[in-house]
Amino acid sequence: MNKIMENNKISTESMHKSLNVLNVVQYSGLFCANRSMGFNNACIAIGNFDGIHKGHDVLIREMIEISKFNNLNSMILTFKYSDKSMRKSSTNMKYITSFKNKISILKSYNPTNICYIDLDSEISKYSPEKFIKDILIDKYDMKHVVVGYNFRFGHYAFGNTDTLKKYSSECNYDVSILPKIQSKNGLDISSTIIRNYLKDGKIKEANELLTKNYTIFSNDVKFTSNNNCIVSENSEILTPCDGEYKVLVGDKKCTVCISTVDNNRVLTFDSDIKTVSLCEPGENIIFLNK
């Protein structure tokens, strides 16, 4: 098994409505998760997974490998902030990827289940111990958890990797902790760093840390088209800073100029890109470099 894990013991030794599950094997929507749904023997990768960068990729693949080795059900557990007042200050900034597209990307890993916790005012007040026992153990029957070195959880983020290890014996689960992941050029990888790169227009640096080039998905924002321009109305999705960028729209490479007008982002294309089509699902803007 991967040597980057810590404390990895390979040998197999009615919930609140804010807890939801997306079963990617028989996907037909979002469901309220409870014990009757048959969760058992779960190996869980936990994280926000905004943008799905290369560090996330290592963590999720590690969870899948552990699940197969120990005959456990693989699960990805992520979070959603439907109540904006529940967001941490660090997540008040724009998202790299919308929740919908994040789930779509996570499905490509083919876990047994993808679950999300809607962090409303009640769930956000759970102590770390309650989060472990009432959610991870009682609801998901967790046998192994895989998280990053800086993972925090519970009320005021009081819980951390040491907390997970503290309750592992009592609750009979194993813990794998991945250290800080760096790119091949020695750059630290995190969603916060990627957001900062995008804010500064450093597309090449951001793309190096993501599993796929930074993309504005057509279903992520509300577009208003006008000739060769698109006005991206105020959105929770991050748009790079003002400037010119090389992009791919469908199979056509072109340059897009991004500017800010009345707090909206205006994208102006230098070619005959049919901007009306970009208002339709499936047509995305893939950023190549600046």
Residue 14 inside a domain? The answer is no
Residue 198 inside a domain? The answer is no
Q: Where are the alpha helices (DSSP H) in 160-234?
A: 161-166, 168-171, 191-199, 203-209
* Number of other CB atoms surrounding residue 264 within 10 Å: 15
Q: What was the pLDDT predicted at 39?
A: 75
- Reported pTM: 0.83
Q: What was the pLDDT predicted at 82?
A: 60
Stretch (H or E) spanning 196: helix 191-199
Calpha distance 137→122 (Å, rounded): 18
SS3 103: helix
User: Which residues form the domain of 249?
Assistant: 203-289
66: which residues sit within 8 A by CB, 6+ positions away? 1, 8, 10, 43, 72, 144, 146, 176
Closest CA to 50 of 19, 95, 93, 8: 95
> Among 162, 178, 194, where does a domain finish?
178
Calpha distance 146→132 (Å, rounded): 13
> Among 144, 178, 212, where does a domain finish?
178
Domain count within the chain: 2
CATH assignment of the domain containing 169: 3.40.50.620
Residue 1 inside a domain? The answer is no
Based on the fold, state whether residues 59 and 151 are members of the same structural domain. yes
Q: What was the pLDDT predicted at 90?
A: 42
* Number of other CB atoms surrounding residue 10 within 10 Å: 13
Q: What was the pLDDT predicted at 89?
A: 46
Q: What was the pLDDT predicted at 234?
A: 61
Residue 5 inside a domain? The answer is no
Q: Are 90 and 150 in contact (CB under 8 A)?
A: no
The sign one gets for the Cα dihedral 229, 234, 238, 240 is positive
Give ∠ CA 234-236-239 in degrees, rounded to 5: 75
Residue 194 inside a domain? The answer is no
Report how far Cα 44 is from the mean position of its chain's Cα atoms.
Answer: 14
Residues in the chain: 290
Based on the fold, state whether residues 24 and 160 are members of the same structural domain. yes
Question: What does the block give as tokens for 25?
Answer: 């094997």
Q: What was the pLDDT predicted at 156?
A: 87
Residue 189 inside a domain? The answer is no
CATH assignment of the domain containing 212: 2.40.10
Question: What does the block give as tokens for 32?
Answer: 């309220």
Q: Which residue positions in the chain have pLDDT lower than 50?
A: 1-17, 23-36, 89-91
